[in-house]
Amino acid sequence: MFWKRKAKETTLDMERIPQHIGVIMDGNGRWAKQRGLPRQMGHKRGADILEGICDYCNALGVKVLTVYAFSTENWSRPQKEIDALMDLLYDYLLQVEEKFRGRDMKLKISGDISPLSDKIKQAIAHAEEVTAPGKRMILNIALNYGGRDEIVRAARKIAKESKDGTLQPEDLTESAFSGYLDTAGLPEVDLIIRPSGEQRLSNFMLWQAAYAEFWYSDVCWPDFKNEDMERAILDFQNRNRRFGGVKE
Ligand code: FPP
């Protein structure tokens, strides 16, 4: 062995909780199929378990929890499933004020919401407004979100400002570019979790994932528990993050 590994920690270090966790809530369809249920029941259960996971992350001191709820590619699913997902999201948005009460949480929606129905757009505006005072944790729901689409939308804003003369090419640094993304102002994503056995990014936070740690699990999202989140964070804390540098 050319290097010495530190002994693995087995309890969470509360001083090193990831600030920003991203979750690809995968495996809802398989979870439902295994139980002979329609796919949308998997999504329903997936939405229901989010509440407990949010509370757990909030209690640990996670600052942002980003969840991938609907991708720019999910429009290719059967219309029945799209409608069920949109209904679920709409119901969730209507309940956000009550769900977040006493939790000091804020809701944020990332993604291109322009093609969504007026009803959903209004519910988003209302949910973001009523939860705006929340300071402890942000639940960032990625909705009609795609990492490539996000980068293209940012590039369009930049091209427009450049054309208008309000942005000089030499002022466009990495940090300035980040400010044009949906995650502007949020801390860097530290940890990306994907349950259900799949090990790919699927267009999730492509720019932001540059130095994120990845954690995969075979558990389908509807069965994901606080203990799984704890395992993911513990594993994260045992990683040696070097950000391209060298550490002893
Ligand atoms: C991927 O699993 C999951 C989705 C495309 C939707 C995720 C949405 C929710 C959990 C509910 C809505 C969220 C909120 C915040 C109310 P899949 O269907 O691709 O699973 P499979 O790979 O097993 O088919």
Does the residue 198 lie in any domain? yes
CA distance 157 to 84: 33
Q: Is 28 in the pocket of ligand 1 (CB under 6 A)?
A: yes
- Strand (E) positions, 88-224? 105-110, 137-145, 191-194, 213-216
Does the residue 154 lie in any domain? no
Does the residue 67 lie in any domain? yes
Does the residue 72 lie in any domain? yes
Does the residue 93 lie in any domain? yes
Does the residue 158 lie in any domain? no
CA distance 244 to 38: 45
pLDDT value, residue 155: 98
CA of 63 to the centre of ligand 1 (A): 23
pTM: 0.95
Q: Among 132, 136, 135, 153, which residue's Cα sits nearest to residue 144?
A: 153
Q: Is 47 in the pocket of ligand 1 (CB under 6 A)?
A: yes
From 55, 74, 112, 228, the catalytic residue: 74
SS3 (DSSP) at 193:
strand
- Number of domains making up the chain: 1
CB 19 within 8 Å of CB 208: no
CA distance 204 to 222: 19
> What atom of ligand 1 comes closest to residue 221's alpha carbon?
10
pLDDT band at 246 (very low <50, low <70, confident <90, very high): confident
Q: What is the CATH number of the domain that holds 209?
A: 3.40.1180.10
Does the residue 61 lie in any domain? yes
pLDDT value, residue 244: 87
CA of 47 to the centre of ligand 1 (A): 8
List, for residues 122-138, the tens digit of each pLDDT value.
999 999 999 999 999 99
Does the residue 165 lie in any domain? no
Q: Is the pLDDT of residue 209 over 80?
A: yes
Structural domain for 35, as ranges = 17-145+189-237
Give whole-number Cα distances, 216 to 26, 36, 195, 198, in Å.
11, 25, 6, 7
CA distance 61 to 170: 37
Q: Among 98, 25, 108, 110, which residue's Cα sits nearest to residue 63?
A: 108
